[in-house]
Structure 1
Amino acid sequence: MPAIRLSSPTLNCPNALELAAFYAEITGGRIAYSDHVWATMDGPGGRIDFQSDPAHVPPTWPEPTVPIQFHLDFYVDDLDAAASQVLAAGATKYSHQPNSDHCLVFADPAGHPFCLSTWDMLNR
């Protein structure tokens, strides 16, 4: 049987390099590759790829008028400090926060939802 391994999630967005730079900044990662339509961010927790799509429409949350296909979760030690860091980098915090005691929901600069969480599901 052939080996099938996940290489990375890929997010469509208006500008691949700009969004890769945002995620590199908040994770301490680096831009590993970029061209006019693609960028790769290599971070301490793995790789995320970005593809420029001029027709990109960001999802909406919590009312899914534009459905969310998936979102990224990031484990953090200090929720308040991490929230300040991502806001300073250009994220937007959603007003609806259903689990704010352990998880905060944000939108990246292209409008993709992502969460900062103190729950580490693999080590519970």
Structure 2
Amino acid sequence: MIGTLQTYALDCPDPGALAAFYAELVGGKVEDDGGEWVELVGDFGTTLSFQRVADYRAPQWPSQDGPQQGHIDIGVTDLDAAQTQVLALGATLLEDWEGQKSWRVFADPAGHPFCLCAC
């Protein structure tokens, strides 16, 4: 095991509003610092996060023409070691900010984005 499931993040135009919707749906506490990222924390096993995206376009169901616009964050204790491991599994590094951030973005072998986040 390389890390633990930390959050599932959804792209959206208004993170606070979408978090409030899901709080009514599944419970939990909205943690909003007024920024571009809002979290819904509860006892449902992982955090549900909401990320503001400029020019957001909603996915179309069941069409395959629009992306589903979500990603998984995996918490790891050693970003460098975890990066080596996921690359060996077939992931592709998409962004690492030259080591200046506490997370790195990868694509899984099918192209879905996910992040390794220091915890």
- TM, length-normalised to structure 1: 0.49
Aligned pair in 2 of structure 1 residues 23, 34: CA closer, same or farther (>3 Å)? farther
What percent of counterpart residues are identical? 34
Render the CA deviation track for 1:37-93: whole Å, top value 9, x for unaligned. Answer: 11000123131111111221111111222133569xxxxxxxxxxxxxxxxxxxxxx
- TM, length-normalised to structure 2: 0.50
Partner of 2:39, secondary structure, is strand
After superposition, the CA RMSD in angstroms is 2.3
The aligned residue for residue 52 of structure 2 is 52
Taking the aligned partners of 1:34 and 1:21, their CA distance within structure 2 comes to 14
Q: Structure 2, unaligned stretches of length 5 or more?
A: 72-119
CA drift of 1:21 comes to: 0.8
Greater relative contact order (CA < 8 Å, ≥ 6 in sequence): 2
- Deviating 4+ runs (over 3 angstroms): none
Aligned pair in 2 of structure 1 residues 67, 30: CA closer, same or farther (>3 Å)? same
Q: Structure 1, unaligned stretches of length 5 or more?
A: 72-124
The aligned residue for residue 83 of structure 1 is none
Identify the structure with the greater strand proportion: 2
The aligned residue for residue 37 of structure 2 is 38
